[in-house]
């Protein structure tokens, strides 16, 4: 849109990012305007449900196990600049891998703790006090572990292996030569062909859900020192490195999609979980 300057449509005035026209109504935008009204006491009517009243077999996630695992992490964090104080540390647990290796009942877990560290820097100072800036640094502290699983829910479905088998057809052939009679025949399998049956089973892979986490940590400043050629209160020190000890409690739920009979399935015999 071109800039209008004292023409028949009026002069255009620029207020920051919004442009208005002095011949338009006060408060109206040149581009568009929206007026809305909030409605209350909207009327609704129930709709009759059409559920399945007979028994069914549903494929749903079934809980295999729920466990709380303790992970101990020791790390060294180096800040990008000297700090005078840690103001706050916010933590969020992230899981990147949670794999149950079946037939071993061993759970492999990888992840990290995302930490947002707010710290104060040293600006001007004297023996009575100091001033500075509040800055932040976001880091990811990785961890990984394995832990055995006790299936306190339902045992996972057995792994069904793929199979391969060969078969051949019968073949009758005439024999020629002085050592064979005219009525002699070669009765054998047909060596001129190769026949095979291959069967694959696509097993359901167990998966994890993250239920909760609790982190207990102890942070200690390393090599605190007085700043060079600066006057600060006697108890203050600057540092760049932090040694962090964390004990992480992670509650995980391990599930697997299984076929489950719900209600009477009309004589279909099935346990609590069906495959």
pLDDT for 6 beyond 50: no
Lookup: tokens for 197: 């049956």
User: Tens of pLDDT along 218-260?
Assistant: 998 898 888 777 777 777 788 899 999 999 999 999 999 999 9
How many angstroms separate the CA atoms of 265 and 53, rounded?
Answer: 10
Alpha-carbon 153 to chain mean position:
23
Decide: helix, strand or coil at residue 75.
strand
Q: What pLDDT is attached to residue 275?
A: 55
pTM exceeding the 0.95 threshold for the entire prediction: no
Residues ≥6 apart with Cβ < 8 Å to 53: none
Sign of the C-alpha dihedral, residues 67, 73, 78, 79?
positive
pLDDT for 123 beyond 90: no
The overall average pLDDT reported for the chain is: 83
The conformation of residue 9, written as its DSSP 8-state character, comes to T
Residues ≥6 apart with Cβ < 8 Å to 12: 3, 4, 5, 19, 20, 21, 22, 30
Distance between terminal CA atoms of the chain? 66
User: Tens of pLDDT along 74-92?
Assistant: 999 999 998 888 999 999 9
Residue ranges of domains in the chain: 78-155+204-262, 164-199
How many angstroms separate the CA atoms of 113 and 93, rounded?
Answer: 5
The rounded percent of the chain whose pLDDT value lies above 90 is: 44
User: Tens of pLDDT along 46-80?
Assistant: 999 988 888 889 999 999 999 999 999 999 999 99
Higher pLDDT, 189 or 20: 189
Cβ atoms 79, 151 nearer than 8 A:
no
Lookup: tokens for 12: 């255009």
């Amino acid at each position: 849109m071109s800039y209008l300057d004292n023409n028949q449509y009026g002069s255009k005035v620029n207020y920051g990012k919004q442009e208005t026209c002095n011949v338009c109504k006060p408060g109206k935008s040149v581009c568009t305007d929206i007026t809305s009204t909030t409605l209350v006491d909207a009327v609704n009517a129930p709709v009759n449900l059409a559920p399945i009243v007979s028994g069914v077999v549903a494929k749903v996630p079934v809980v295999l196990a729920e466990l709380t695992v303790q992970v101990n992490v020791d790390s060294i964090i180096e800040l990008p600049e000297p700090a005078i104080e840690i103001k706050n540390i916010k933590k969020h647990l992230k899981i990147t891998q949670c794999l149950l290796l079946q037939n071993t009942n061993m759970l492999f877990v990888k992840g990290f703790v995302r930490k947002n560290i707010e710290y104060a820097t040293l600006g001007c100072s004297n023996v009575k006090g100091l001033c500075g800036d509040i800055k932040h640094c976001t880091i990811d502290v990785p961890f990984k572990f394995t832990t055995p699983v006790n299936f306190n829910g339902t045992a996972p479905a057995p792994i069904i292996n793929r199979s391969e088998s060969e078969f051949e057809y019968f073949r009758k052939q005439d024999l020629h030569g002085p050592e064979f009679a005219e009525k002699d025949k070669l009765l054998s399998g047909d060596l001129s062909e190769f026949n095979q049956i291959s069967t694959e089973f696509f097993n359901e892979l167990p998966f994890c859900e993250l239920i909760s986490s609790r982190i207990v940590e102890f942070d200690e400043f390393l090599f605190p020192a007085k700043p060079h050629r600066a006057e600060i209160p006697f108890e203050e020190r600057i540092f760049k490195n932090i040694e962090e000890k964390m004990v992480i409690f992670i509650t995980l739920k391990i599930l697997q999609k299984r076929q489950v009979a719900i209600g009477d399935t009309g004589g279909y015999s099935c346990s609590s979980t069906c495959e």
